[in-house]
Chains A and B, each alone.
Chain A
Amino acid sequence: MAAPGPGQLAALQVLLKAPSKDAVRQLCQECFSSPPAGLGPLALRTGPGLAVSPAEAEQLVSALHSLTRHVVYRGLARAEDILSLFPETFHQNLKNLLTKIILENISAWRNEAQASQISLPRLVDMDWRVDIKTSSDSISRMAVPTCLLQLKIQEDVALCGNSPVVSALTVELSKETLDTMLEGLGRIRDQLSAVANK
């Protein structure tokens, strides 16, 4: 995510026309969360509130998106780092306000970025039950415990947009399978501790 240029950031100064600090705050959040494709519609919604032309609204929204995403990408945590992105001539108070808003939101935005990262389908929930099989067509009397495990899996967030697809998978495990699985999981835990202790 390339740093927004000074020319681009100059467009942010129309924010001086914003009705309140909260309106600026709100807009920062919306510009960060919006994917690039959503910036056009966002600009159209924002323009009238600020009494600016559609072109100016687009430049504003685009610059704010670039700025917020860049800060999150680079993991800038200090006020000085963010302030230095703005051109010299930028309005002082607005610059401080924007920096303050960004710093307030940075860890939430970081989590948001991580949560919407590409990944394999994610486990969102799991439930289990233990059954005792008492009879079957191959043996009329038995007492075999077995485990049913239901995993709720969510498909890649990026593909689903706002309506995530969650599927449920029910799997049966015998006692032997469970023991083997626990052995594997135990090994993972040991390796994780080894990595954490380094």
Chain B
Amino acid sequence: MKHYEVEILDAKTREKLCFLDKVEPHATIAEIKNLFTKSQGKSLKDEDVLQKLPVGTTATLYFRDLGAQISWVTVFLTEYTGPLFIYLLFYFRVPFIYGHKYDFTSSRHTVVHLACICHSFHYVKRLLETLFVHRFSHGTMPLRNIFKNCTYYWGFAAWMAYYINHPLYTPPTYGAQQVKLALAIFVICQLGNFSIHMALRDLRPAGSKTRKIPYPTKNPFTWLFLLVSCPNYTYEMGSWIGFAIMTQCLPVALFSLAGFIQMTIWAKGKHRSYLKEFRDYPPLRMPIIPFLL
């Protein structure tokens, strides 16, 4: 059977967009459009095998310049080290932040010291997870992200730390009770978040990029998988809510809100990909908040 070669050019620039060889003579325009779309559509994966691609004997690969890239690990390490260090500058009341008479003084409120420990612990945990726990799907992200992300993390860290460590800081209205309760919430959610990260890591062997449905394990913290797709985000929210209640600091609450909005967007996206990829995805699960969102 005689096959056609079909060359598709850009209507305006006359640029060669696609070359399809071995097009059947009875192919409809719709089918040709399909072939064109498939050949132009999704990015190829590193693992794809040439033979299995929907091209003829001549494969034309399109190179798309993603622009300057930077590794995920580098971005994470940079964006998390900032808050760790910056918070401590405010905690130790380094000169030129507060009035000179407060330089290197220490707060008389226990909760301020507790807050420093919690905040620092949180970011040290994140750094260690980046180095030893997480298995990334993508190696890199666009370079401009590091500026965006660092501005966000470092900016908010400075803003929160300024008020919590301020000489005029007002401790929580309900005193030690409030602090204890909030601290408990914080610690539980940190443990929960870590448990989820470990469970996700165990889903994927080292060096691979496989994707599987996460399920609850023996660890009770992972039982949240029964109700949400991204319990790591749920626990992260819980940690920051705990920290906000503990410090009774509005900037912390606003930071939690911003984080919540972003994590909800991510959770919904992840939830959608799970649903698309796995036919047997558990129907009870919501993206980030059990039963609600």
A and B physically associate: no
| A interface, CB within 8 angstroms of B | none
